């Protein structure tokens, strides 16, 4: 603070010290430093008490062992050390490696599974069987857990040599500071020279440790942590601050902040505001198509999916991780195959697998106080994900075999990469320039594409194209009675039912979006309009001979797409919607066309 005040040390009070003292009183802070505290700043020219620790009164009793350390800090400022009571080392129950071996033994020896291997269980029976499965799992987990003391990890570059150098630096510092004889200048020089050697040794140890780490990680994977750090792709946990509401006020608590973010990202659908188009669709999807059912899932289908699961795939609320899931499958495959096939035959997606664990990731370069600056990720049960992937494979085969996968939909599908999308677009643009034509390239970005999609649109598309009725029914069940849970660090749960959109992180989400966007791509636009999509982004290329023609054609096309989106209650992020003029020479460059989209 660079403020001097006798109340927190020393004998001098300056103007800045008076101002800071008044600030502390006005905001009801407590200063942990006092007039008897050791100096926090020390140089060869003097010492001072300018580093303070301020806390709210409510936190005062949580601060333990506050102290100014008489150790070398490699700085002119002294180290201030304290502990928060709730952050002291705690013992938490976890399953260790030995505990997992015990858990796997329980799974192997359980004989209950072998009595339930039919493929025609009712919805109620499926729920009962899954409840018993999870009940047994929780009992085994409690038997296999043990208290594990959490201790902070030591820095990897620290070694015994640095520890000895630190002790020697402290000793040289104390010898120099406590000596008032003619030897003091010599002791001072020796101390500062050795202190510099200590700094250099720490820097070199850090560099060597980092180089060793990068080399070892790169051997494992070229796209590991060093790559993610370099390109700013490393995901870290978000610290959620007070959130700005629509009334420009701030939320008061963490729970209020999370609830407001969830309300913004997962709005509840108001059925009374449905358009005639949506009302007719809801009536249309009430009955399944009159089609043949799809075949039962096979052992090989499930085995292939489980074998391809990534080892570090995060579990859902049931806490069954990949290794545990594989043990379940390898020991009792008939039980799980019967559950999956019963779900298919009854057209039922179990409720317990529709409960997602919500994570909120702060978007890069976005204001963390705004609710739409967070990207929601739902972690679903791995068992539920297996069923979703089984449905995905059948659904993809159905769409592909019926030639319903639009050729101009790139991303979210097989053999349609971003490279192919870029090649297809640039080829069209090159043709325009070769023919000396003029065009506008317009990119459209949907706002919250996954969170705002209406499931009746998907079901109507499947019914119109005569999807197998058991696939249709299980998809219908998949959309209903979904909910998400956010768990805070102190284990407080915030629950929310959702009736709109698809969960991000679901294996089915990409193909469901493809079904919706295919409806737009299937529209027969005029010959001067080129359209293609990559994932949830749409690009248009609109040709025209003059500025006015470009404006008129673009406005007509955008108005049509806007109406198409409004019918389906889809919204656009206008800040991300851009256009680029494609022309030869300076024609139209000095006075480019003016385009409006939804009056913006």
Residue 227 lies in a domain: yes
Which H or E run contains 544? Answer: strand 537-544
Mean pLDDT of the chain: 90
Indicate the pTM of the whole model.
0.79
Domain check: are 170 and 77 in the same one?
A: no
Q: What is the pLDDT of residues 362-402, one digit of tens each?
A: 887 889 999 989 988 899 999 999 999 999 999 999 999 99
Which of 234, 260, 286 terminates a domain? The answer is 234
In sequence order, the 6+-apart residues with CB closer than 8 A to the CB of 421 are 410, 411, 532, 534
pLDDT on residue 151: 67
Residue 326 lies in a domain: no
- Give me the domain span that covers residue 187: 153-234
Lookup: tokens for 94: 């976890």
Domain check: are 145 and 159 in the same one?
A: no
Domain check: are 420 and 444 in the same one?
A: yes
Residue 199 lies in a domain: yes
Where is mean pLDDT largest: 131-135, 311-315, 516-520?
131-135
Domain check: are 143 and 202 in the same one?
A: no
Please report, for residues 22, 55, 489, the alpha-carbon distance to residue 59 in angstroms, rounded to integers and kept in the order given: 20, 6, 18
Which of 184, 200, 234 terminates a domain? The answer is 234
Domain check: are 541 and 584 in the same one?
A: yes
Residue 48 lies in a domain: yes
Q: What is the pLDDT of residues 482-511, one digit of tens each?
A: 999 999 888 899 999 988 887 677 899 899
Domain count, the chain: 4
pLDDT on residue 25: 85
Domain check: are 157 and 228 in the same one?
A: yes
Domain check: are 27 and 173 in the same one?
A: no
Instruction: Identify the weakest region by mean pLDDT among 36-40, 312-316, 544-548.
Output: 36-40
pLDDT on residue 113: 95
pLDDT on residue 587: 66
Residue 568, domain CATH: 3.30.70
Domain check: are 101 and 5 in the same one?
A: no
Start-to-end C-alpha separation, the chain: 47
Lookup: tokens for 563: 């109406």
Domain check: are 29 and 52 in the same one?
A: yes
Contact between residue 55 and residue 156 where contact means Cβ atoms under 8 Å apart: no
Residue 52, domain CATH: 3.60.10.10
Q: What is the pLDDT of residues 117-155, one digit of tens each?
A: 988 999 999 999 999 999 999 999 999 998 877 666 778
Domain check: are 84 and 132 in the same one?
A: no
Residue 559 lies in a domain: yes
Domain check: are 8 and 41 in the same one?
A: yes
In three-state secondary structure terms, 485 is: strand
In three-state secondary structure terms, 320 is: coil
Domain check: are 434 and 556 in the same one?
A: yes
């Amino acid at each position: 603070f660079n403020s001097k005040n006798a109340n927190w040390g020393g004998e001098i009070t300056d103007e800045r010290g008076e101002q800071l003292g008044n600030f502390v009183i006005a905001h009801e802070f407590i200063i942990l430093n006092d007039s008897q505290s050791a100096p926090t700043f020390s140089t060869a020219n003097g010492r001072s008490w300018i580093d303070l620790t301020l806390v709210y009164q409510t936190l005062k009793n949580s601060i333990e062992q506050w102290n100014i350390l008489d150790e070398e800090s490699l700085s002119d400022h002294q180290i201030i050390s304290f502990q928060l009571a709730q952050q002291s080392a705690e013992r938490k129950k976890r399953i260790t490696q030995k505990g997992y071996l015990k858990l796997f033994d329980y799974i192997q020896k359980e004989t209950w599974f072998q009595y339930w291997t039919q493929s025609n269980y009712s919805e109620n029976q499926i729920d009962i069987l899954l409840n018993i499965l999870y009940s047994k799992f929780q009992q085994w987990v409690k038997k296999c857990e043990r208290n594990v003391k959490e201790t902070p990890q030591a820095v990897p570059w620290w070694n015994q040599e640095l520890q000895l150098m630190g002790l020697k630096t402290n000793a040289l510092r104390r010898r120099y500071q406590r000596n008032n004889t003619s030897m003091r200048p010599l002791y001072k020089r020796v101390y500062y020279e050795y202190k510099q050697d200590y700094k250099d040794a720490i820097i070199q140890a850090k560099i060597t440790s980092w180089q060793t780490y990068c080399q070892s990680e790169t051997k494992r994977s070229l796209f590991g942590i060093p790559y993610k750090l370099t390109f700013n792709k490393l995901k870290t946990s978000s610290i959620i601050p007070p959130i700005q509401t629509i009334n420009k006020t701030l939320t008061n608590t963490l729970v209020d902040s999370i609830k407001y973010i969830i309300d913004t990202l997962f709005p509840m659908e108001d059925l009374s505001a449905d358009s005639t188009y949506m009302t007719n669709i809801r009536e249309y999807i009430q009955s399944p198509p009159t089609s043949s059912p799809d075949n039962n899932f096979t052992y090989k289908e499930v085995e292939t999916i489980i074998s391809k699961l990534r080892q570090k795939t995060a579990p859902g609320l049931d806490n069954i991780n990949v290794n545990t899931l594989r043990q379940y499958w390898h020991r009792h495959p008939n039980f799980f195959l019967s559950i999956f096939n019963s779900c298919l035959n009854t057209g039922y997606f179990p409720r317990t697998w529709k409960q997602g664990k919500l994570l909120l990731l702060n978007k890069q370069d976005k204001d963390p106080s705004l609710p739409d600056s967070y990207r929601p990720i739902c972690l679903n049960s791995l068992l539920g994900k297996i069923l979703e992937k089984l449905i995905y494979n059948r659904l993809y085969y159905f769409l592909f075999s019926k030639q319903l996968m639009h050729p101009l939909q790139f991303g979210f599908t097989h053999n349609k990469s971003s490279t192919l999308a870029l090649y297809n677009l640039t080829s069209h643009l090159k043709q325009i320039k070769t023919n000396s034509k003029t065009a506008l390239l317009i990119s459209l970005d949907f706002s919250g594409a996954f969170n705002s999609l209406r499931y009746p649109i998907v079901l109507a598309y499947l019914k119109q194209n005569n999807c197998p009725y058991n696939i249709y029914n299980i998809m219908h069940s998949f959309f209903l009675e979904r909910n998400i849970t956010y768990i805070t660090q102190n284990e407080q749960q915030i629950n929310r039912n959702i009736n709109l959109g698809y969960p991000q992180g679901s294996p089915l989400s990409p193909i469901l979006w493809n079904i919706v966007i295919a409806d737009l791509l299937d529209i027969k636009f005029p010959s001067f309009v080129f359209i293609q999509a990559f994932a949830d982004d749409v690009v248009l290329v609109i040709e025209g001979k003059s500025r006015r023609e470009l404006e008129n054609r673009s406005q007509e096309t955008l108005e049509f797409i806007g109406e198409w989106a409004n019918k389906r209650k889809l919204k656009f992020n206008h800040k991300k919607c851009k256009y680029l003029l494609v022309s030869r020479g300076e024609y139209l460059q000095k006075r480019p066309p003016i385009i409006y989209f939804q009056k913006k």
